[in-house]
Amino acid sequence: MIEAVGLTKRYGAKTAVDDLSFEVRPGAVTGFLGPNGSGKSTTMRMILGLDR
């Protein structure tokens, strides 16, 4: 299972991800959708440990 609780990422004064929480259960097909600049890539980088 992947669980994220309260993820937040800021670049200076710009907030890319703000207090995001979610859970993905094993075997579940899950979509990760949003408009350009909504923090999708930043969120994935935090989950992978590439950003803090």
**What string of pLDDT tens digits covers the 52 residues of the chain?**
999 999 999 999 999 999 999 999 999 999 989 999 899 999 999 999 998 8
Structure tokens at 9: 């990422």
What pLDDT does 52 receive?
80
pTM given for the model: 0.77
What pLDDT does 44 receive?
92
What pLDDT does 51 receive?
86
Rg (CA), the chain: 11
Structure tokens at 35: 């408009």
Give the integer Cα–Cα distance in Å for 16 and 38: 7
